[in-house]
């Protein structure tokens, strides 16, 4: 009992000193760009605290307090870009990357509407119930390909890391997210989809969001959100 109390105290101390994380930089042409240059500065730039209410407008770009606008990075369709995290994504977590085409100047667009499609995801590895592992846990970057048939133009690109280490009760999943601004050149004539809105894409009751990853160990995992559009 006594040693259990000591461990509990230690764990509480550890979790209060561990910061969470943000995604302040785009990676363009293999270079990690300046923090909050091409990524809209999120409300948690200091606290690093997650969004937990999927119905909040902050589930979109998390900028309700900063009202931040970023510069726009030019990237070629079919090229590789990414987001750099300011930590490792050390929670048991999954990743989704979504994009949405701005109707005009992306700097003056808020990303509202049923306009978002998924371009990349990182799922946990399951094996029928004996273990679940999270490839994100030791990573501090999310690198993906801008679909080569994506029409040229200005886009918001939204990275989302959903931490599910404490997701067995409703509202327990933690969303770490940010939106970058990119200008896609040399694109194609694809029709991205399926499209979702933020908020709207999630109710919070999805089997990959409201989930106990410990007991029993999930035999499979259902990634939240639509299928990836590969272009």
Ligand X SMILES: *[C@@H]1O[C@H](CO)[C@@H](O)[C@H](O)[C@H]1NC(C)=O
- Using rule CB under 6 A, residue 138 touches ligand X: no
State the minimum distance, in angstroms, from the CB of residue 9 to ligand X: 31
Query: Contacting ligand X (CB under 6 A), which of 112, 114, 203, 222?
Result: 203
Longest dimension (CA), the chain: 66
State the minimum distance, in angstroms, from the CB of residue 114 to ligand X: 14
Query: Contacting ligand X (CB under 6 A), which of 3, 17, 108, 138?
Result: 108
| 210 φ, ψ (degrees, to nearest 5) | -100, 95
User: Judged by CB, which is closer to ligand X: 106, or 122?
Assistant: 106
Give the x/- contact pattern for ligand X in 143-182, rule: CB under 6 A: -----------x----------------x-----------
Residue 194 preceded by cis peptide, ω within 30? yes
- Using rule CB under 6 A, residue 67 touches ligand X: no
Dist. CA 174–CA 88, nearest whole Å = 15
Question: Stretches 24-32, 49-57, 84-92, 118-126: which one binds ligand X (CB under 6 A)?
Answer: 49-57
In our burial notation (b when 16+ CB lie closer than 10 A, e otherwise), range 35-55 reads bbbbbbbbbbbeeeebbbebe
Identify whether the C-beta of residue 101 lies closer than 8 Å to the C-beta of residue 72.
no
């Amino acid at each position: 009992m006594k040693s259990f109390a000591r461990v509990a105290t230690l764990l509480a101390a550890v979790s209060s000193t561990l910061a969470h994380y943000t995604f302040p930089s785009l990676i363009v042409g293999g270079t990690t760009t300046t923090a909050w240059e091409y990524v809209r500065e999120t409300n948690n730039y200091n606290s690093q605290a997650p969004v937990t209410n999927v119905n909040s407008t902050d589930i979109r770009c998390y900028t309700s307090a900063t009202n931040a606008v970023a510069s726009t990075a030019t990237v070629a369709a079919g090229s590789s870009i990414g987001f750099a995290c300011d930590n490792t994504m050390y929670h048991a977590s999954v990743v989704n990357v979504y994009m949405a085409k701005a109707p005009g100047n992306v700097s003056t667009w808020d990303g509202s509407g049923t306009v978002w499609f998924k371009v990349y995801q990182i799922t946990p590895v399951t094996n029928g119930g004996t273990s679940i592992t999270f490839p994100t846990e030791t990573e501090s970057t999310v690198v993906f390909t801008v679909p080569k048939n994506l029409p040229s133009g200005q886009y918001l690109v939204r990275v989302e890391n959903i931490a599910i280490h404490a997701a067995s009760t409703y509202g327990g999943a933690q969303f770490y997210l940010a939106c970058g601004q990119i200008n896609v050149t040399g694109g194609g004539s694809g029709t991205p989809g399926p499209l979702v809105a933020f908020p709207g894409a999630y109710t919070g009751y999805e089997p990959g969001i409201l989930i106990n990853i410990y007991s029993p160990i999930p035999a499979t995992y259902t990634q939240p959100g639509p299928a990836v559009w590969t272009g």
